[in-house]
Structure 1
Amino acid sequence: MKIFWLISLLVGTSYGRYEPNWESLDARPLPTWYDEAKLGIFIHWGVFSVPSYGNEWFWWNWEGLNITDYGEFMKKNYPPGFQYSDFAPQFTAEFFDPAKWAELFKISGAKYVVLTSKHHEGYTNWPSASSWNWNSLDVGPKRDLVGELADAIRNKTDIRFGIYHSLFEWFNPLFVRDRDNIFHTNDFVTQKTMPELYDLVHRYRPEVIWSDGQWEASYKYWQSTEFLAWLYNDSPVKDTIVTNDRWGMLTPCQHGGYYTCSDRYNPGVLQARKWENAMTIDKVSWGYRRNAKFEDFLTIDELLQTFVSTISCGGNMLMNIGPTKEGTIVPIFEERLTQVGQWLGVVGEAVYSSVPWKHQNDSVTAGVWYTAKAKNIYAFFFDWPQSGSLVLGSAQPISNAANVTMVGTTTPLKWNLLKTTGISVQLDSLPPKQIPNDWIWVLRLEGF
């Protein structure tokens, strides 16, 4: 396992050219920045932000659904014959301030951002020449949303900019015809999907391409391996670009730069390949919902617990927010991002550039997860024990100078070697005023 982490996270510029097949493409080492980053922000934003009701699945499957809640909502709020495209003029983004977004993302401690460039309904958040009158410059905001955010991120932060892109579109006539021909034709790919992907790379130079919408056809139909070979060999971002695994119906968790496997994927055990937990702060939806309730959102404890269990098992976490149609990030999302940033400001040394330890979670105490960096082991614990003593069954001293401190302080903590296994750390030896943060505390173990 250690050999995997050392080899697979090297920058692959010296490995020659990659061939358009999975054996070659999967051998490309993952650029080191991605594993070191640990945390990213996902942004689901588009025309579906206008209705912002229920689960956005209603809007992406606009036709052919027999959902009572959906039907009653439409009858109550929209006239007969209203089409999904009629929402586009209401996607105004009038309050979208990319500089403020960039500042918030910087405060959150995230190291990369992935913005929706196009979702399954085909509307593009940039002036795509392949999407005439169905893009953010022609209808709705009358702005290049992808370009504005990319510029703000790069000018005001050191965050990496990435894009989400759906390979397919629900109702595009070219795709429907290809599907009716059992994908023996691929006019949609050659005239729409691939021109868009090449345009996005040349125009915005993203360092993450988060592909989606792959499930109806094979990677051969999507021409995925040809595109990835160009991306890794000849594109302007060939040395730093990272990609996910959604490039064909059988590719998730099998092929690609890193694995996402399924939405909210969090296996709880160390994986053989780098992976990502793409998850939502709103438990119900990826897009903004006007009818969301307070209890629908992850608490800061739930969010950080998800993050810690993810990085302890070698994953990154891509936490999703859904802005409004006006381009605002609502207070509940802003609060969560700010809280995550406050926490990372204290415990960041145990997070960024860390690697999985030989134990992912503790053998005795539940709610304790580990990372490692250099010669230090870091123990994240979710609950403060009522006894004031925390048992770490997986920690064994290997030096007479073994030392335990809480990250964010310099005061050594008293600890005892247990007769059975592990150690007991006396947390109450730390004065209450010196406790550095409010959620999920981290111990630094030196000489263990």
Structure 2
Amino acid sequence: METGRGLFLRAAAAWLCLVGAASASAPPQRYTPDWPSLDARPLPGWFDAAKVGVFVHWGVFSVPAWGSEWFWWHWRGEKQPDFDRFVQARFPPGTSYADFAPRFTAHDFQPRQWARLFQQAGARYVVLTTKHHEGFTNWGSNVSWNWNSVDTGPHRDLVGELGDALRERNIHYGLYHSLFEWFNPLYLLDKKNGFKSQFFVYGKILPELYELVLRYKPDLIWSDGDWEAPDTYWNSTSFLAWLYNDSPVKELVQTVSYGGNYLLNVGPTKEGVIAPVFQERLLALGKWLGINGEAIYESKPWRIQKENCTCSTWYTSKGATVYAIFLTWPESSVLILPSPVSSATTKVTMLGFSEPLKWQVAPDKGLKIMLPSAVPSLLPLQHGWTLKLVGVA
């Protein structure tokens, strides 16, 4: 029996996702509740093309805002002394983790401003934590009484509000949902029973997942926290078969390390403010993508992923066009690319510049390219530049 499968399929990278919206290229197909059938799900076109997303970690852990979203576990599970000292120095005596919830106010949460910022950052999709391992849900979950964002804290449906704002800007919406919860009595009971009982799964997890899918119809679900129990405990294959065959969410996304997606994490404050330093980074990313996005969005891996040299050059492709993204400006403004093979029709340009660049066949092999003579600090961007290669093998 395989363990650690959770609700998702094997992945070469660190996480798996589910995606909504029908794939135009994949014919309708019924999937059976077993891994060989479920693993055959095709990658939906929109996710493969999106490439760039924003991941929002936001919950009760945003109140202490120290350590990580695993604050409760480090404090009460592992009993790390520095976490205890942190709470004693900043909160009233006897403070419990539940006491943080009313302080998670989201007073300044403006979902339309978030959506605008994420769009300016070049994000094609956004993933929100609907529930982390602490068990607090960012919507009014029917099975998380008084431990959700409608009953306490913000008294708002954070999942729904952000989804509405993102869809106004045609940004795909993803929902992160943790399966296990550190201190949930039902989960601890099932764990004590060697996961032979499923009180937690049927009383908490599956109702939440069905509710998220049916109420919000997300484009993507990222499920996490399955590692302690086998997939049979989580009822994985049955849920996925329903999801793929009969629900509004019917596609699988499986991330890979190369040619995959870049998901940038953001942690808003307990009031719902995205700190200026985060906004600065997001807008810088958007500026870079405004010039170099042609080499990122809708791209595929080229036959060479990265040059095996000190030039820090990475490749993507679209059809017959190859893009070389280099991170270090070479001395004398001459860049050598060993891998591309030139032809009589080879043309080299730099994204952000209109004039073709001069080039010649390198002494060993590949291309020797004369970059613009401007000082790199005077170029539109100072970190990462893209060459567009047409007519190379």
CA offsets 1:114-160 (integer angstroms, 9 cap, x no match): 001001111000000010111000000000000000001112x1110
| Separation in 1, partners of 2:118, 2:386 | 23
| Separation in 1, partners of 2:315, 2:56 | 29
Matches within 5 A, 1:39-54: 39-54=52-67
| Separation in 2, partners of 1:84, 1:10 | 43
Aligned partner of 1:258 in structure 2 is 254
Contact persistence 2:329–2:376 (CA under 8 A):
no
> For the structure 1 residues 436 and 188, does the alpha-carbon distance in structure 2 shift closer, same or farther, using more than 3 Å as the test?
same
Q: Does 1:323 align with 2:268?
A: yes
Q: Does 1:393 align with 2:393?
A: no
Aligned partner of 1:438 in structure 2 is 382
Aligned partner of 1:411 in structure 2 is 355
Moved more, 333-342 or 434-443: 434-443
Aligned partner of 1:292 in structure 2 is none
Tell me the amino acid that sits aligned with residue 45 of structure 1.
W
> For the structure 1 residues 430 and 74, does the alpha-carbon distance in structure 2 shift closer, same or farther, using more than 3 Å as the test?
closer
CA offsets 1:378-434 (integer angstroms, 9 cap, x no match): 00010111211001011111x212110001222010111023111110114579899
Deviation at 1:79, TM superposition (A): 3.7
Aligned partner of 1:150 in structure 2 is 163
| Separation in 2, partners of 1:385, 1:21 | 52
Contact persistence 1:391–1:424 (CA under 8 A):
yes
| Separation in 1, partners of 2:69, 2:309 | 42
Deviation at 1:76, TM superposition (A): 2.0
Deviation at 1:19, TM superposition (A): 0.8
Q: Does 1:20 align with 2:16?
A: no
Contact persistence 1:47–1:123 (CA under 8 A):
yes
5+ residue gaps, structure 2, are 1-21
Q: Does 1:231 align with 2:175?
A: no
| Separation in 2, partners of 1:429, 1:422 | 21
Matches within 5 A, 1:52-67: 52-67=65-80
Deviation at 1:55, TM superposition (A): 3.0
Contact persistence 1:44–1:320 (CA under 8 A):
yes
Aligned partner of 1:209 in structure 2 is 221
Deviation at 1:172, TM superposition (A): 1.1
Aligned partner of 2:152 in structure 1 is 139
1:114 alignment partner, SS class: strand
Matches within 5 A, 1:13-412: 13-155=26-168, 157-238=169-250, 241-242=251-252, 257-259=253-255, 275=256, 313-397=258-342, 399-412=343-356
Contact persistence 2:311–2:328 (CA under 8 A):
no
| Separation in 2, partners of 1:176, 1:410 | 62
> For the structure 1 residues 369 and 337, does the alpha-carbon distance in structure 2 shift closer, same or farther, using more than 3 Å as the test?
same
Q: Which has the higher contact order (CA 8 A, sep 6+)?
A: 2
Contact persistence 1:364–1:392 (CA under 8 A):
no
Q: CA RMSD in A?
A: 1.9
> For the structure 1 residues 444 and 341, does the alpha-carbon distance in structure 2 shift closer, same or farther, using more than 3 Å as the test?
same
5+ residue gaps, structure 1, are 1-8, 243-256, 260-274, 276-309
Deviation at 1:61, TM superposition (A): 4.3
Deviation at 1:168, TM superposition (A): 1.1
Tell me the amino acid that sits aligned with residue 130 of structure 1.
V
| Separation in 1, partners of 2:382, 2:307 | 22
TM-score, scaled to structure 1: 0.80
| Separation in 2, partners of 1:228, 1:333 | 35
Percent identical residues: 54
